[in-house]
Amino acid sequence: MEVKDIKIKGISYDEFKDNDSLEKYVEELRANGVGIITGVLDDIINWGRSNSLWPLTFATSCCGIEFMAVGAARYDFARFGFEVTRNSPRQADVIIVAGTIVDKMAPVLKRLYDQMAEPKYVIAMGSCAISGGPFCNSYCVVNGVDEFLPVDVYVPGCPPKPEALLYGMMQLQRKVKMERFMFKDKEVKENE
């Protein structure tokens, strides 16, 4: 599937920013071609996965309040099926790192991430999670969670507006939709 074919209800392809990096990503994924059956299976599975991204309730500071606001009546991320926030990392699909991560919290966050079941995604919400934000010069603030977590989507802002987070989550949906799920490991091995 090409990036262009991925439909997100309500937003057209051109309205999305950063289509280039997604396209590059797709090219890498499709380098070996796609099997017909596995391709179709992939599409079905990805449809399911992308529409059912359950976030972990995780928030450390200010951005967490905006995360709560996204769940509340006005923004309502239930529309996308994200509202089943799980308190146990084992059952969550995406961790939204909302807020500053400091040295003492970093091992905890790492552990939470490790406890999540595959396939799992990370959204870095807010400048703190992206780069340390206003606190980047501090003696004990981690300058971006990508130092130790594979971040899928960055949502900038301090704090990002709820709309921005929703947009970020839609970007994640697009990313999920393009992924290879079936026989992923086997092909990776062959490539090596």
Query: Residue numbers of the site for other proteins (CB under 8 A)?
Result: 9, 44-45, 47-49, 51-52, 57-62, 64-66, 68-69, 72-74, 76, 78-81, 83-84, 86-88, 90-91, 93, 99-100, 102-108, 110-112, 115, 117-119, 134-135, 137-142, 147-148, 158-159, 161, 181
DSSP state for residue 124 in the 8-state scheme: E
Nearest approach, Cβ of 186 to ligand SF4 (angstroms)?
40
Nearest approach, Cβ of 151 to ligand SF4 (angstroms)?
14
The DSSP result for 153-166, as a single string, is: EEE-SSSPPHHHHH
Span from 9-17, 128-136, 166-174, 181-189 in contact with ligand SF4 (CB under 6 A): 128-136
Residue type, 136: C
Does residue 126 belong to the site contacting ligand SF4 (CB under 6 A)? yes
Question: Helices (DSSP H) in the chain: which residue ranges?
Answer: 19-29, 36-50, 62-71, 106-115, 126-131, 162-178, 184-191
Among 150, 158, 163, 188, indicate the residue that binds ligand SF4 (CB under 6 A). 158
For residues 153 and 172, is the Cβ–Cβ distance under 8 A? yes
